[in-house]
């Protein structure tokens, strides 16, 4: 394991999370999302009047999307270390990872497009905004599969002193389960399952933040122990 490279990739996950939060909230002002039943004219006016912030915020989202792949690569290396030469969970994780974080790139693209031409019909701006929020909030199914795969791989470690603690595996599985409400946002415009609701947005946002910080801690711990010959 190349420990310096692994540390850099893990740290890039923290950078990506920071860029995501800054881009979507204070810069673009799209956190939390507009209520799905917000009047079309109001949404169009916001995107026309705040174009610069939305452009910059969208660029930060796209940069975060790219950096998350470095973080995912570090996870894959650790899963490979757990599984050994035959690594189905690792390869499955690497493939599903693209679904999870490429959606963030395209969410930024749609938000950018919604502000690009202020003379768009309000209905078109609304459509582009809907697509952006569907991608930003609704990518729950690939996230669920990704987390369950990660958890299964961690729990498959039969070492007396595993690469990552077994509770981190269970945490990944529960994180995936708690992200699932986002997959039904197309069925609700109000209430806890709407894209700005308690179960579809706020709970996954908090859970993702907790998962993210725990994974960075567990990964840095595993890298340090490997460097010291303890794992």
Residue 14 to residue 42: CA distance in whole angstroms: 34
Q: Reduced to 3 states, what is the DSSP secondary structure of residue 114?
A: helix
Q: Distances from the Cα of 185 to the Cαs of 44, 68, 147, 164, 188, in angstroms?
A: 21, 24, 20, 34, 6
Check residue 175 and give its pLDDT. Answer: 97
- Cβ-contact 225, 231 below 8 angstroms: yes
**Tokens read off for 20:** 């995501």
Check residue 1 and give its pLDDT. Answer: 63
Residue 69 to residue 75: CA distance in whole angstroms: 10
Check residue 228 and give its pLDDT. Answer: 61
pLDDT in tens, the chain (231 residues): 688 999 999 999 999 999 999 999 999 999 999 999 999 999 999 999 999 999 999 999 999 999 999 999 999 999 999 999 889 999 999 999 988 789 999 999 999 999 999 889 999 999 999 999 999 999 999 999 999 999 999 999 999 899 999 999 999 999 999 999 999 999 999 999 999 999 999 999 999 999 999 999 999 999 998 766 665
Check residue 231 and give its pLDDT. Answer: 54
> Residue 97: what are its φ and ψ, rounded to 5°?
-55, -35
Residue partners of 119: CB distance under 8 A and separation at least 6: none
- Residue 103 CA to chain centroid, in angstroms? 9
- Residue 125 CA to chain centroid, in angstroms? 24
Check residue 99 and give its pLDDT. Answer: 82
Residue 158 to residue 215: CA distance in whole angstroms: 20
* DSSP letter assigned to residue 32: S
pTM of the entire structure? 0.92
- Burial code (b: 16+ CB inside 10 Å, e: under 16) for 37-58 equals eeeeeebbebbbebbebbbebb
Q: Distances from the Cα of 149 to the Cαs of 86, 164, 220, 230, in angstroms?
A: 15, 14, 20, 25
Check residue 127 and give its pLDDT. Answer: 96
Q: Distances from the Cα of 210 to the Cαs of 17, 24, 87, 168, 213, in angstroms?
A: 12, 18, 27, 12, 5
What residue segments make up the domains of the chain, in order of their start? Answer: 3-227
Check residue 226 and give its pLDDT. Answer: 79
């Amino acid at each position: 394991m190349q420990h310096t490279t692994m540390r850099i990739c893990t740290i890039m996950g923290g950078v990506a999370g920071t860029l995501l939060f800054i881009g979507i909230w204070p810069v673009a002002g799209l956190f939390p999302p507009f209520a799905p039943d917000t009047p079309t004219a109001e949404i169009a006016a916001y995107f026309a009047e705040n174009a610069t912030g939305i452009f910059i915020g969208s660029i930060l989202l796209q940069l975060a999307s790219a950096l998350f792949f470095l973080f995912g690569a570090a996870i894959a290396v650790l899963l490979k270390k757990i599984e050994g030469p035959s690594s189905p969970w690792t390869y499955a994780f690497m493939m599903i990872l693209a679904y999870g974080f490429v959606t963030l790139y395209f969410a930024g693209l749609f938000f950018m497009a919604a502000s690009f031409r202020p003379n768009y019909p309000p209905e078109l701006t609304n459509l582009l905004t809907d697509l952006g929020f569907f991608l930003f909030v609704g990518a729950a199914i690939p996230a669920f599969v990704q987390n369950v795969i990660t958890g299964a791989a961690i729990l498959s470690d039969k070492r007396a002193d595993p690469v990552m603690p077994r509770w981190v595996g269970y945490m990944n599985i529960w994180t995936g389960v708690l992200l699932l409400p986002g997959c039904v946002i197309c069925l609700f415009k109000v209430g806890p399952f709407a894209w700005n609701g308690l179960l579809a947005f706020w709970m996954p946002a908090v859970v993702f933040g907790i998962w993210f910080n725990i994974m960075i801690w567990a990964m840095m711990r595993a890298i340090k122990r490997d460097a010291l010959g303890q794992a």
